Amino acid sequence: MAVNSADVQGWGKMYGIGVGPGDPQLLTLRACDVLRQAPVVCVPRSTPGEMGYTWEIIRSHLDASRQEILHLHFPMTRDARELETSWGRAVDVAAERLAQGKDCAFVTEGDPLLYSTFVHVLRQLNRRYPQVEVQIVPGVSSILAAAATARVPLADGDDCVAVLPATGSQEMLELALSRFDTVVLIKVSRAVGRVLDILNKLHLEDKAVFISRASSSREEVVGQVASLRGRDLEYMSLIIVRK
């Protein structure tokens, strides 16, 4: 028992860090602190060899001469088994460092608990290494940055807000759009034609605004959403419908 307890105490902490939507100035003070101090920084990427978007946000806060930067590969796939394997492998790689008493900072775009890879990392870590203490540093989500860029209020007073993927069922999209004051449709790129059809049917086209990569140098805002039809859109695109 004593040995186990010592083991647990010897493990490093895992930090899940939200680094915000794209503008490095939208990092929090706390995220900067943890990034500067963590001996190990875990950076997810979907394409081997590419440094990725998150890297651009955090790189100026890191010091490769005294920090280990772990680039962890998470494939962009819907294959559940491949995903489980990649999350598990990422957690194992981090756990090797944690077991040596080193704190790890796992960075994610936006916020770590809102449509983020860290949700899976957290689940696998809790299951396989329950002795590891986890601290989560919330971040500015891309939804908030998109609203800020477009200057569209998300909610006020007793408003109800729904956030859901544009790739969901027709019935769920119509339910959200007919019953909620504000609807944020994420993952719009793969379903824009369909979303436009529904908005048109519900007479909501003029209440919608499209935002892509809010706060980054590649930011785009489109008020006339009908013009999006047939366009090849960024993966990180969303539409806010505010009645």
Look at residues 242, 239, 193, 194 and name the one whose alpha carbon lies nearest to residue 214. 239
Is residue 46 part of the contact set for its own copies (CB under 8 A)?
A: no
Cβ-based neighbour number of residue 164 at 10 Å: 18
Stretch that binds its own copies, among 15-23, 46-54, 195-203, 205-213 (CB under 8 A): 15-23
With CB under 8 A as the rule, give the number of residues binding its own copies.
Answer: 59
Stretch that binds its own copies, among 6-14, 84-92, 113-121, 194-202 (CB under 8 A): 113-121
Shortest Cβ 43–its own copies spacing (Å): 19
Is residue 30 part of the contact set for its own copies (CB under 8 A)?
A: yes
Looking at the Cβ atoms of 158 and 232, the one nearer to its own copies is 158
8 Å CB contact between 43 and 58: yes
Is residue 151 part of the contact set for its own copies (CB under 8 A)?
A: yes
Is residue 233 part of the contact set for its own copies (CB under 8 A)?
A: no
8 Å CB contact between 229 and 196: yes
Is residue 23 part of the contact set for its own copies (CB under 8 A)?
A: yes
In single-letter form, the type of residue at position 206 comes to D
Is residue 115 part of the contact set for its own copies (CB under 8 A)?
A: yes
Indicate the pairing of strand 237-242 with strand 182-186.
antiparallel
Give the burial string for 230-243 (b: 16+ CB within 10 Å, else e).
Answer: eeebeebbbbbbbe
| Sign for the pseudo-dihedral over CA of 82, 85, 91, 93 | negative
Site for its own copies in 175-204 (CB under 8 A): 175-176, 179-180
Is residue 243 part of the contact set for its own copies (CB under 8 A)?
A: no
Stretch that binds its own copies, among 93-101, 173-181, 188-196, 200-208 (CB under 8 A): 173-181
Cα torsion 190, 191, 192, 197 to 10°: value is 170
Is residue 232 part of the contact set for its own copies (CB under 8 A)?
A: no
| Sign for the pseudo-dihedral over CA of 60, 233, 71, 74 | positive
Is residue 38 part of the contact set for its own copies (CB under 8 A)?
A: no
For tokens 């028992």, name the residue. 1
What H or E segment, with its residue span, contains residue 16? strand 14-18
Stretch that binds its own copies, among 48-56, 109-117, 205-213, 222-230 (CB under 8 A): 109-117
SS3 (DSSP) at 97 = helix
Stretch that binds its own copies, among 65-73, 165-173, 197-205, 218-226 (CB under 8 A): 165-173
Is residue 76 part of the contact set for its own copies (CB under 8 A)?
A: no
Q: Round to whole Å and give the CA distance between 66 and 147.
A: 38
Question: Which positions touch its own copies (CB under 8 A)?
Answer: 16, 18, 20-21, 23-30, 32-33, 111-116, 119-120, 122-123, 134, 136-141, 144-145, 147-149, 151-165, 167-168, 172, 175-176, 179-180, 215
